[in-house]
């Protein structure tokens, strides 16, 4: 039987900082963070992104410098997203297959100059298509599943050949994880991980990201025929089960905070590594709150990241990664 007050005072363990640390049920470290970075063409380029205050696009040498900062702060991995020049965007997204494209050049530079950091690469066609969709479309604008999955598999191989450590398909095409796994195995890339965007919702929180990769304004229609309906939770479990069966090493839920219930259910159901993407709109809300004087950045960042860990995440992709890691080092 639980002892009654005053024999049991739960505040005893909260009375001092050392005791709060001792009794913490959840631990957050810099190694739990993945830092998304946006790549720009050119040299010596830093392009601030207006809708993501404090975030910039960097040319390849700037990406290398950011990765060195990440390593010094204890961050385990960076995630790369290219802003493909407009003249290279086509309806079929063929630049995704160019072995010397912006993504591949950044991967090679990181593996050459910062080999100790993990490199996660996005597999989807929206940074490369003229229409802004994650795949190939038919005359009616419907994204074609199987032909898109074929191209995504070649895109994944292109990135793996450049040195990517984790392939992260974010497109939500059916069957693409199995196809990518088979292709990687066929090339002997046995240790290249797949982190599947298994439960990616058609969300209103992606706007600043589309600015960052240059796809906002290109998109015709929406992505609701392939990204998940935010009303659905059981469907997320089916998506995760399929991706794990096809060879995913870990899974992701995206967005983050509005879907903590999904993270918890996935972790409880499968007991596998689950990651969350604290997406651009979530970052922008925190920054807007800080700018308005309505909240303290440090407190908001750390509380939200702890919420992901508490819900069951192995790690979090967040634009606040470097800031949070440095806070943890202090």
Residue 329's Cβ-side half-sphere holds a number of Cα atoms within 13 Å equal to 15
- Virtual CA dihedral for 70, 56, 273, 32, nearest 10 degrees? 30
CB proximity list for 21: less than 8 A, separation 6 or greater: none
CA 155/CA 84 separation, integer angstroms: 14
How would you classify the pairing of strands 274-278 and 46-48?
unpaired
Active site residue 200: yes
Helix (H) or strand (E) holding 186: helix 176-186
Active site residue: 68, 111, 224, 254, which one?
254
Q: Which of 161, 81, 68 is nearest to 110 (CA)?
A: 68
| Of 200, 223, 267, 309, catalytic | 200
Q: Is the bond preceding residue 56 a cis peptide, omega within 30 degrees?
A: no
DSSP string, 188-235: T-TT-EEEEEEEEB--TT-HHHHHHTT-TTT--S-STTTSBPTT-SHH
Decide: 249 and 194 in contact? Cβ < 8 Å: yes
CA separation for the pair 263, 313 (Å, rounded): 7
Q: How far apart are CA 289 and CA 33, in angstroms?
A: 22
Contact status, residue 123 vs residue 167, Cβ threshold 8 Å: yes
Active site members: 200, 254
């Amino acid at each position: 039987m639980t002892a009654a007050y005053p024999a049991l005072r739960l505040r005893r363990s909260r009375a001092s900082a050392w005791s709060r640390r001792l009794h913490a049920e959840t631990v957050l470290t810099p190694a739990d963070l993945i830092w998304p970075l946006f790549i720009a063409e050119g040299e010596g380029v830093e392009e601030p992104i207006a809708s993501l205050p404090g975030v910039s696009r960097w040319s390849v040498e700037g990406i290398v410098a950011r990765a060195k900062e990440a390593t010094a702060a204890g961050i385990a991995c960076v995630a790369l997203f290219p802003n493909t020049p407009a003249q290279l965007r086509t309806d079929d997204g063929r630049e995704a297959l160019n072995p010397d494209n912006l993504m591949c050049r950044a991967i090679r530079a990181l593996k050459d100059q910062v080999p100790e950091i993990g490199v996660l690469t996005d597999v989807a066609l929206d940074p490369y298509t003229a229409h802004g969709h994650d795949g190939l479309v038919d005359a009616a604008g419907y994204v074609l599943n199987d032909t898109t999955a074929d191209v995504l598999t070649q895109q994944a191989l292109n990135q793996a050949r450049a040195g990517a450590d984790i392939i992260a398909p974010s497109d939500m095409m059916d069957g693409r994880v199995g196809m990518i796994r088979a292709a990687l195995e066929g090339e002997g890339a046995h240790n290249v991980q797949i982190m599947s965007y298994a439960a990616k919702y058609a969300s209103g929180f992606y706007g600043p990201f589309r600015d960052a990769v240059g796809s906002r304004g290109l998109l015709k229609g929406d992505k609701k025929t392939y990204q998940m309906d935010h009303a659905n939770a059981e469907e997320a479990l089916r998506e995760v089960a399929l991706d794990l069966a096809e060879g995913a090493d870990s899974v992701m839920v995206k967005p983050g905070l509005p879907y903590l219930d999904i993270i918890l259910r996935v972790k409880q159901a499968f007991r596998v590594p689950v990651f969350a993407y604290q997406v651009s709109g979530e970052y922008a809300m925190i920054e807007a709150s800080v700018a308005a004087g309505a909240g303290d950045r440090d407190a908001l960042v750390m509380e939200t990241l702890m919420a992901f860990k508490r819900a069951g995440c192995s790690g979090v992709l967040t634009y606040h990664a470097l800031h949070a890691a440095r806070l943890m080092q202090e």
